[in-house]
């Protein structure tokens, strides 16, 4: 009984309860260091994914009595695993998604909707163990689902490998349910939660399948389906393809009304034992609904759509005590396509309220009719939507590894390929041109530094959007972010220098300009890389980004912590970077000529500040009027940020070291060079 071992071993191995850490520093599990990232990518290169897929295919059809496979295959079960792992993704902050493999940990593993997925993960342990650390759990979950689709005849676009596992579930704490999520994104009525939360119901992947708040109302349910899929960047055609494609396979489980038993958080050694009969096989309880959606739930087809259109659907409570819909086999509605099977001869099929919503919404219904009549439209839409579903949180295609990576997709916002080092000018030449410009024009020091900072600080480590690669600071919406008002003028200045260096991108000159400015002001910038490229016209790479720190005058401490975490910085590093205000040309922290010092911390901590809201004011040592933003004031008053500011004020070396570390991270976070590329492009 290998599986039984795996099932008891895995929950124990998953470690401490992250609820305890709520309110603490969420940046402990991630971000992964640049070195760790490159080393992991090299380990992924060693994995033979074709062999993993072969192992998966034999796993699908090898039933384990500890959790017997329905219809002789685990394939549908693994599709649900991959979908629930990926479907937590939300565009609001890039959190969620399968990269990180956090479904192994609380809070996600104990969500109602992840009931019994501990068994699916346990069934994969032998394969994980066989292939070693280059095969992450995140990759294995997604590949299991993708291979499952393919093995049952479904259309598959490819596979982007390279998900890097997190050490714990802390990055999912903001998804809830817990106190930290309530502080960041309160949800007053669970079932009607709004953005930035990814779902209407905290603890569910998307909507309540039974209908809003458990009421089987397909009209209201349809609105919720649209709303929640939009929050993960899925439009109507993608949404209908995904739901119908997923529910082409497998079944719901709800043998009796007694429930699934305790979650892993409640009972880590024997979670979800099931309260019906034996708890497994025909007695399984997962969602509390019972039955398949189609008459052939182990083969790819568009029967889900023809069924929706061909039968009248009646609602009643099923064996699990929840409302579900059954097909009235005697009445076929006025359907454009012929019924697939005589239902009297097959296992009863069912629909969830969320499925029925697709024929109650006129826009959804049109798509259902298209997929029912034109299977190739369905195949094409599903293959693309599935790949996007499972890969979206991976960020740019440069993160994708393995031999099955499809061409760059629109959701990856493709940039031109990384240039060969030999086609680029030597970094030293560019730096010396920049530095002689800055010594002739010292007022450009703060301008260059702040443009590089604006360009790079849009990055979010959750889904790898933002950052200076692409130089999207030139384009909308970033061009209009607060703080970028003077960017165009600075860009013209940089363009003049760039014109001396063929093949150097705008993104590179912005970053190198910032580096030269920091060095001119006496700071250290750490490793310097070139090889960035510029986003083409019409690029949408910043469509989900918005100003998080600069210009956000409503920010509170929970959101500031969150923003620091998204940047991949520690609190100390963030506070050190704030010391860069010391370079500001005018206003708050003017010191001329620009020199990086701890003066900002001195003024912030030691002056008397007036005002109820930003801009706060104080009078400086030379009687000058100083201003502070809401973020400055949070650094002054928040216990942890204040402690960092005190430490930096008292130790100039520590300040320079932390500043350099933070600056270097910010400038490189969005680059996914291989070890070989790093050797050539970074110095
Ligand atoms: C509105 C969105 C959705 C809702 C409310 C929903 C709901 C459900 C429910 C209640 C179950 C039964 C779980 C159980 O009792 O075992 C289920 C199973 C399943 N779902 Fe979905 N689902 C949705 C979207 C999707 C999507 C997008 C996919 C994949 C592309 C998918 C794939 C599956 C599969 C394959 C199963 C069968 C698992 C098995 O046989 O063990 N679902 N879904
Ligand atoms: C999700 O959780 C809700 C509430 O517990 C439950 O009614 C529903 O059946 C679950 N759905 C799935 C897919 O597990
Ligand atoms: C949804 O997005 C996909 C992929 O970008 C696109 O092919 C499709 O036309 C879009 N559908 C709608 C209704 O906009
Ligand atoms: C099926 O539809 C027929 C005709 O409308 C109706 O008489 C019958 O009661 C329905 N059966 C069920 C199970 O609802
Ligand atoms: C610029 O790049 C092109 C294409 O890679 C290359 O052929 C050319 O030699 C490069 N120019 C210089 C001056 O390196």
305-335 residue pLDDT tens: 999 998 899 999 999 999 999 998 766 656 5
Ligand 5: distance of its center to the CA of 423 in Å?
5
Name every residue whose Cβ is closer than 8 Å to that of residue 549 and which is 6 or more positions away in sequence.
Answer: 457, 555, 560, 563, 631
**Residue 633 · residue 614 · CB < 8 Å:** yes
5-57 residue pLDDT tens: 333 333 323 333 333 333 333 333 456 788 888 889 999 999 999 999 999 99
Ligand 2: distance of its center to the CA of 288 in Å?
7
Mean pLDDT score, 393-413: 96
Predicted confidence band at 336 (pLDDT cuts at 50, 70, 90)? low
The listed range with the strongest mean pLDDT (148-162, 470-484, 516-530) is 148-162
Mean pLDDT score, 385-390: 98
Mean pLDDT score, 119-145: 97
The predicted pLDDT at position 7 comes to: 37
Closest CA to 81 of 270, 249, 294: 249
Q: Are strands 291-292 and 311-317 parallel, antiparallel or unpaired?
A: unpaired
- Does 197 have pLDDT greater than 90? no
Ligand 2: distance of its center to the CA of 110 in Å?
12
- Of all protein residues, the one whose alpha carbon is nearest to atom 32 of ligand 1 is 246
Predicted confidence band at 563 (pLDDT cuts at 50, 70, 90)? very high
3-state SS string for 495-564: HHHHCCCCCCCHHHHHHHHHHHHHHHCCCCCCCCECCCCECCCCCCCCCCCCCCCCCCCCCCHHHHHHHH
| Helices assigned H by DSSP within 421-473 | 427-440, 444-456
Cβ–ligand 1 distance for 286 under 6 Å, the answer yes
For residue 436, what are its two tokens? Answer: 């002689």
- Of all protein residues, the one whose alpha carbon is nearest to atom 5 of ligand 2 is 112
Ligand approaching nearest to the C-alpha of 253? 1
- Contacts of the segment 193-196: beta carbons below 8 A, 24+ positions apart: 195/90, 195/92, 195/231, 196/90, 196/92, 196/93
Ligand 5: residue of 416, 425, 503, 533 to mutate (most ligand atoms within 8 A of CB) is 503
The predicted pLDDT at position 13 comes to: 33
Name every residue whose Cβ is closer than 8 Å to that of residue 419 and which is 6 or more positions away in sequence.
Answer: 503, 531, 533
Strand partners, 618: 626
Ligand 4: residue of 314, 327, 350, 351 to mutate (most ligand atoms within 8 A of CB) is 314
The predicted pLDDT at position 24 comes to: 30
Cβ–ligand 1 distance for 464 under 6 Å, the answer no
- Does 540 have pLDDT greater than 60? yes
Ligand 4: distance of its center to the CA of 295 in Å?
20
Which atom from ligand 2 is nearest to the alpha carbon of 286?
A: 14
Ligand 1: distance of its center to the CA of 247 in Å?
6
The predicted pLDDT at position 267 comes to: 95
Cβ–ligand 2 distance for 254 under 6 Å, the answer no
Which atom from ligand 4 is nearest to the alpha carbon of 331?
A: 2
Residue burial 18-46, b: 16+ Cβ < 10 Å; e: rest: bbebbeeebbebbbbebeebbebbeebee
Mean pLDDT score, 106-123: 93
Phi, psi (rounded to 5 degrees) for 270: -140, 65
Cβ–ligand 4 distance for 333 under 6 Å, the answer no
Pocket, ligand 3, Cβ cutoff 6 A: 235-238, 410
Closest CA to 577 of 635, 498, 509: 635
Domains of the chain: 46-399 (1.10.420.10)
Closest CA to 304 of 253, 364, 226: 364
Gap between the Cα atoms of 314 and 298, Å rounded: 25
Cβ–ligand 2 distance for 115 under 6 Å, the answer yes
Cβ–ligand 1 distance for 249 under 6 Å, the answer yes
Cβ–ligand 2 distance for 259 under 6 Å, the answer no
Ligand 3: distance of its center to the CA of 379 in Å?
14
Which residues are tagged catalytic? 84
Cβ–ligand 5 distance for 503 under 6 Å, the answer yes
| Residue 219, SS3 per DSSP | helix
278-307 residue pLDDT tens: 999 999 999 999 999 999 999 999 999 999
Closest CA to 387 of 96, 155, 229: 155
52-88 residue pLDDT tens: 999 999 999 999 999 999 999 999 999 999 999 999 9
pTM, to two decimals: 0.92
The predicted pLDDT at position 590 comes to: 52
Ligand 4: distance of its center to the CA of 164 in Å?
53
The predicted pLDDT at position 581 comes to: 81
The percentage of residues in the chain with a pLDDT greater than 90, rounded to a whole number, is 73
Phi, psi (rounded to 5 degrees) for 124: -100, -5
176-194 residue pLDDT tens: 777 888 888 888 777 777 7
Ligand 4: distance of its center to the CA of 333 in Å?
12
- Of all protein residues, the one whose alpha carbon is nearest to atom 10 of ligand 5 is 423
Cβ–ligand 1 distance for 225 under 6 Å, the answer yes
For residue 197, what are its two tokens? Answer: 């939360």
140-161 residue pLDDT tens: 999 999 999 999 999 999 999 9
Which atom from ligand 3 is nearest to the alpha carbon of 235?
A: 1
Least confident of 41-45, 201-205, 351-355: 201-205
- Of all protein residues, the one whose alpha carbon is nearest to atom 9 of ligand 5 is 423
The predicted pLDDT at position 3 comes to: 39
Cβ–ligand 1 distance for 119 under 6 Å, the answer no
- Of all protein residues, the one whose alpha carbon is nearest to atom 6 of ligand 5 is 423
Cis omega (within 30 of 0) for bond into 196: yes
**Residue 289 · residue 352 · CB < 8 Å:** yes
Mean pLDDT score, 433-455: 94
Ligand approaching nearest to the C-alpha of 114? 2
């Amino acid at each position: 009984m290998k599986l039984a071992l795996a099932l008891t071993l895995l929950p124990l191995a998953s470690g401490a309860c992250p609820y305890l850490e709520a309110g603490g520093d969420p940046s402990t599990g991630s971000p992964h260091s640049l070195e760790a990232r490159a080393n992991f990518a090299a380990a992924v290169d060693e994995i033979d994914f074709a062999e993993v897929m072969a192992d998966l295919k034999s796993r699908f059809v090898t039933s384990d009595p500890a959790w017997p496979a329905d219809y002789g295959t685990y394939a549908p079960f693994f599709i649900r695993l991959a979908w629930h792992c990926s479907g937590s993704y939300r565009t609001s902050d890039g959190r969620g998604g399968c990269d990180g493999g956090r479904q192994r940990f609380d809070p996600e593993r104990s969500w109602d909707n992840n009931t019994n997925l501990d068994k699916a993960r346990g069934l994969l342990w032998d394969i994980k163990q066989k292939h070693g650390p280059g095969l992450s759990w995140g990759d294995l979950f997604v590949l299991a689902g993708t291979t499952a689709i393919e093995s049952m005849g479904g259309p598959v676009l490819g596979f982007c490998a390279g998900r890097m596992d997190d050490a714990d579930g802390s990055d999912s704490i903001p998804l809830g349910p817990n106190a930290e999520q309530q502080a960041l994104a309160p949800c007053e009525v669970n079932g009607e939660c709004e953005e930035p939360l990814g779902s209407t119901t905290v603890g569910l992947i998307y909507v309540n399948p039974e209908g809003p708040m458990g009421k089987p109302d397909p009209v209201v349910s349809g609105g919720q389906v649209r709303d929640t899929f939009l929050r993960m960047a899925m439009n109507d055609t993608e949404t209908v393809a995904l739901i119908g494609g997923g529910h082409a396979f497998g079944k719901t489980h709800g043998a009796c009304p007694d429930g699934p038993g305790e979650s892993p958080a409640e009972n880590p050694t024997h979670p979800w034992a099931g309260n019906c009969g034996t708890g497994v096989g025909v007695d399984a309880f997962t969602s509390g609904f019972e039955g398949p959606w189609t008459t052939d739930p182990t083969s790819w087809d568009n029967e889900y759509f023809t069924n929706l259109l061909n039968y009248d659907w009646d609602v009643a409570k099923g064996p699990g005590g929840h409302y579900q819909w059954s097909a009235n086999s005697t009445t076929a509605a006025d359907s454009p396509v012929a019924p697939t099977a005589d239902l009297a001869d097959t296992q009863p099929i069912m629909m969830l309220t969320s499925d029925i919503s697709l024929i109650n919404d006129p826009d959804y219904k049109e798509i259902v009719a298209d997929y029912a009549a034109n299977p190739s439209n369905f195949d094409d839409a599903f293959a693309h939507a599935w790949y996007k579903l499972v890969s979206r949180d991976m960020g740019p295609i440069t993160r994708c590894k393995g031999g099955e990576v499809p061409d760059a997709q629109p959701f990856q916002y493709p940039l031109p390929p990384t240039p060969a080092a030999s086609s680029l000018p030597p970094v030293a030449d560019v730096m010396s041109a920049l530095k002689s410009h800055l010594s002739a024009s010292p007022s450009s020091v703060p301008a260059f530094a702040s443009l590089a900072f604006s360009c790079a600080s849009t990055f979010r480590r959750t889904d790898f959007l933002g950052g200076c690669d692409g130089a999207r600071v030139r384009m909308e919406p970033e061009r209009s972010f607060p703080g970028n008002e003077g960017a165009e003028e600075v860009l013209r200045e940089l363009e003049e220098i760039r014109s001396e260096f063929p093949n150097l991108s705008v993104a590179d000159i912005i970053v190198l300009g910032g580096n030269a400015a920091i060095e001119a002001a006496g700071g250290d910038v750490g490793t310097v890389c070139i090889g960035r490229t510029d986003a083409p016209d019409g690029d949408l790479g910043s469509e989900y980004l918005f100003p998080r720190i600069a210009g956000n005058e409503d920010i509170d401490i929970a959101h500031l912590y969150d923003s620091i975490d998204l940047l991949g910085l520690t609190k100390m590093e963030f506070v050190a970077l704030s010391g860069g205000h010391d370079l500001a040309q005018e206003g708050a922290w003017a010191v001329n000529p620009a020199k990086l010092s701890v003066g900002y911390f001195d003024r912030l901590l030691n002056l008397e500040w007036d005002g109820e809201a930003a801009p706060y004011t104080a009078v400086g040592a030379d009687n000058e009027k100083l201003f502070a933003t809401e973020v400055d004031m949070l650094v002054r008053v928040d216990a942890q940020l204040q402690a960092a500011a005190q430490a930096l004020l008292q130790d100039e070396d520590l300040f320079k070291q932390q500043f350099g570390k933070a600056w270097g991270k910010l400038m490189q976070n969005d680059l996914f060079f291989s070890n070989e590329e790093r050797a050539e492009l970074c110095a």
